[in-house]
DNA sequence: GTCTATAGACGGATAGAC
DNA sequence: GTCTATCCGTCTATAGAC
């Protein structure tokens, strides 16, 4: 880059990334062919191999750039609440940790302009993605951020067994994934979601997540208690 | 069927179904080829087309037989708690509705013998499946059962806006999906799940779901309250 | 019902001209 | 960097012998 031709090369690269992202959301990774991507991007078939090498590398790059941004927003939000707590001599509350973690996802998901909406739907299902290389790659991209959030959550819930916190965090990610996949995924409840206002999704989800996090710990001897 | 050759035909058909199911779980629908299925099942390539017609029909049949069983178990459980409540002149509690809906999933998921474990991991991700025909088909298979459960849940929570119940039920399905995909999906929390005892998953999940269902309703004017 | 053989389309990737 | 042309493998599905 930096050459006379670099701007067009950058355009091509970016156009491929965005076309690929949109098609991956719509059809899945396997079902999206190089030919579909290049024709949607308006570039030559060989351009993908030139700029990214293989299809797998392209997939990796599609995820990498969005997750990097997501990690950045999440850690920024966590830094802020931790700094505020330090200044006031208090402790970070569990709800603040959850908000720092889940709000950036919903914000990116509702941000149609930056293509975030598409990507978040894709991200939600990669957690259970069959493709092992994608799963492995995602785990690595997430590792650091997750470590920091889990540590913060443990600290905000002293006395609660870490095993339970871990499981509940896991459940929360599932709930959030479905919250994003939302109503345009499976039309299970046909016409039932009258109020799908995106600005209401965050409070809806947060109250649910907090309720789940704060629920009485399971009694393994009376599993149906409720 | 009923001919001299019917037993072997049935075997072939069943072997295909089960091989397909296992491979769909492991590799996904698109990434699983007919050749993979038939060689895993130890049958001839043409046998799939003979018994099921097309690959899509095979996919449909793989889902259909398991979902039929799941619907049966769920409605049976709901019938039981409704009958018990009627006999005692009481009302069905929300926790009973949730248990009737989610317990059969976890039971099938932990039932390695009947191949349920495999299938439940598959089912969890079809909710966000890109393949539109699969989503449409699943929605139809679920419709009746979901209607009955939503009606029961509404009745058990008089005064709570139906819209909120619907959203929370949606979130619960996401949490349950991740509960099943569990720890063998993404190794996000590397080595962190020390206690993955399946018999403890149900109480863990149920306490979380109930906590979420009973959480204070969202305040759309103070979305971060917690 | 089960097999072999093959049609016919599409997949990822590359060579080599420009 | 971009293009055309092409290699070669795999895919679903079917025809037709047994």
Inside any domain, residue B122: yes
Q: How far is the CA of A3 from the C1' of C18 (A)?
A: 19
Q: How far is the CA of B34 from the C1' of C7 (A)?
A: 17
Domain boundary (B12, B36, B53) is at B53
Q: From the alpha carbon of A7, which nucleotide's C1' atom is closest?
A: D1
Same domain as A168, residue A149:
yes
Residue A63 CB contacts under 8 Å (≥ 6 apart), including other chains: A123, A126, A134, A137, A138, A141
Share of chain B above pLDDT 90, in %: 69
Predicted pLDDT at B89 = 96
Same domain as B102, residue B26:
no
CA closest to B122 among chain A residues: A128
Q: B16: Cβ under 7 Å from strand C?
A: no
Predicted pLDDT at A2 = 40
Q: From the alpha carbon of A33, which nucleotide's C1' atom is closest?
A: C11
Predicted pLDDT at A174 = 94
d(CA A13, nearest CA chain B) in Å:
25
Residue A154 CB contacts under 8 Å (≥ 6 apart), including other chains: A162, A165
Can you give chain B as a three-state secondary structure string? CCCCCHHHHHHHHHHHHHHHHHHHHHHCCCCCCHHHHHHHHCCCHHHHHHHHCCHHHHHHHHHHHHHHHHHHHHHHHHHHHHHHHHHCCCCCCHHHHHHHHHHHHHHHHHCCCCCHHHHHHHHHHHCCCCCHHHHHHHHHHHHHHHHHHHHHHHHHCCCCCHHHHHHHHHHHHHHHHHHHHHHHCCCCCCCCCCCCCHHHHHHHHHHHHHHHHHCCCCCCCCCCCC
pLDDT at A18 over 50: yes
pLDDT at B185 over 70: no
Long-range pairs of B30-38 with CB within 8 A, sequence gap ≥ 24 = B30/A28, B30/A30, B30/A31, B30/B131, B31/A30, B31/A130, B31/A131
- Mean pLDDT taken over chain A: 89
Q: How far is the CA of B207 from the C1' of C8 (A)?
A: 56
The answer to whether B205 touches B102, Cβ cutoff 8 Å, is: yes
Predicted pLDDT at A128 = 80
pLDDT at A4 over 50: no
Span B200-215, pLDDT tens digits: 999 999 999 999 999 9
Same domain as A174, residue A132:
yes
Of B166, B170, B203, the CB nearest to A219: B203
Predicted pLDDT at A191 = 60
Same domain as B203, residue B146:
yes
- What mean pLDDT comes out for the span B183-192? 62
State which residues form the domain around B161: 62-214
Residue B66 CB contacts under 8 Å (≥ 6 apart), including other chains: B21, B108, B116, B119, B123
pLDDT at B81 over 90: yes
The answer to whether B77 touches B99, Cβ cutoff 8 Å, is: yes
Most confident range (mean pLDDT) of A125-134, B88-97, B131-140, B177-186 is B88-97
Most confident range (mean pLDDT) of A30-34, A192-196, B117-121 is A30-34
d(CA B103, nearest CA chain A) in Å:
10
Inside any domain, residue A219: no
Inside any domain, residue B146: yes
pLDDT at B158 over 50: yes
pLDDT at B4 over 50: no
Same domain as B66, residue B49:
no
Inside any domain, residue A224: no
Domain boundary (B36, B53, B70) is at B53
Same domain as B82, residue B147:
yes
Predicted pLDDT at A120 = 87
Instruction: Assign A1 a pLDDT band (cuts: 50, 70, 90).
Output: very low
Inside any domain, residue A107: yes
- Look up the pTM and report it: 0.94
Q: B207: Cβ under 7 Å from strand C?
A: no
Same domain as B83, residue B156:
yes
- What mean pLDDT comes out for the span B153-173? 95
Q: Is B48 exposed, middle or buried (0-12, 13-18, 19+ CB in 10 A)?
A: buried
Predicted pLDDT at B115 = 74
Inside any domain, residue B225: no
Same domain as B75, residue B30:
no
Share of chain A above pLDDT 70, in %: 91
**Furthest-apart CA pair in chain A: how many Å?**
71
Inside any domain, residue B30: yes
Same domain as A133, residue A35:
no
Span B116-154, pLDDT tens digits: 778 888 888 887 888 888 888 998 999 999 999 999 999
Could B215 and A211 be called an inter-chain contact, meaning their C-beta atoms sit closer than 8 Å? yes
Query: Degrees (nearest 5) of the Cα angle B131, B136, B138?
Result: 95
Same domain as B113, residue B11:
no
Same domain as B99, residue B26:
no
Of A28, A139, A188, the CB nearest to B142: A188
- Mean pLDDT taken over chain B: 89
Q: B5: Cβ under 7 Å from strand C?
A: yes
Most confident range (mean pLDDT) of A124-133, A193-202, B103-112 is B103-112
CA closest to A131 among chain B residues: B27
CATH number of the domain bearing residue B160: 1.10.357.10
Inside any domain, residue B220: no
Which two structure tokens, joined as six digits, stand for B79?
């019938």
Same domain as B115, residue B193:
yes
Could B130 and A226 be called an inter-chain contact, meaning their C-beta atoms sit closer than 8 Å? no
pLDDT at B48 over 70: yes
In chain B, how many domains are there? 2
Taking the mean position of all CA atoms in its chain, how far away is CA B134?
A: 14
Q: DSSP per residue over chain A, as a string?
A: --STTHHHHHHHHHHHHHHHHHHHHHH-TTT--HHHHHHHHTS-HHHHHHHHSSHHHHHHHHHHHHHHHHHHHHHHHHHHHHHHHHHTT----HHHHHHHHHHHHHHHHH-TTTTHHHHHHHHHHHTT-S-HHHHHHHHHHHHHHHHHHHHHHHHHSTTS-HHHHHHHHHHHHHHHHHHHHGGGS---STTT-----HHHHHHHHHHHHHHHHTSPPP-TTSTT--
Predicted pLDDT at B191 = 60
Q: From the alpha carbon of A32, which nucleotide's C1' atom is closest?
A: C11
Predicted pLDDT at A148 = 97
């Amino acid at each position: 880059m930096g050459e006379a031709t670099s701007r067009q090369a950058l355009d091509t690269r970016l156009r491929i990334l965005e076309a690929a992202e949109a098609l991956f959301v719509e059809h899945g990774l396997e079902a999206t062919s190089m030919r579909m991507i290049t024709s949607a991007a308006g570039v030559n078939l060989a351009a993908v191999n030139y700029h990214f090498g293989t299809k797998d590398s392209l997939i990796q790059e599609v995820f990498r750039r969005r997750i990097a941004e997501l990690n950045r927003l999440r850690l920024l939000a966590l830094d802020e609440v931790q700094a505020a707590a330090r200044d006031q001599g208090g402790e970070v509350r569990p709800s603040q940790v959850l908000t720092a973690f889940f709000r950036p996802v919903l914000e990116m998901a509702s941000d149609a302009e930056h293509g975030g909406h598409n990507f978040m739907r894709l991200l939600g299902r990669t957690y259970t993605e069959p493709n092992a290389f994608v799963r492995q790659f995602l785990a690595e991209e997430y590792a650091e951020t997750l470590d920091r959030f889990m540590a913060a959550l443990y600290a905000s819930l002293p006395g609660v067994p870490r095993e339970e916190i871990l499981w509940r965090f896991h459940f929360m990610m599932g709930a959030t994934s479905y919250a994003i996949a939302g109503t345009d995924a499976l039309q299970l409840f046909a016409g039932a979601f009258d109020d799908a206002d995106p600005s209401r999704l965050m409070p809806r989800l947060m109250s649910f997540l907090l309720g789940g996090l704060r629920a009485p710990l399971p009694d393994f001897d009376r599993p149906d208690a409720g």
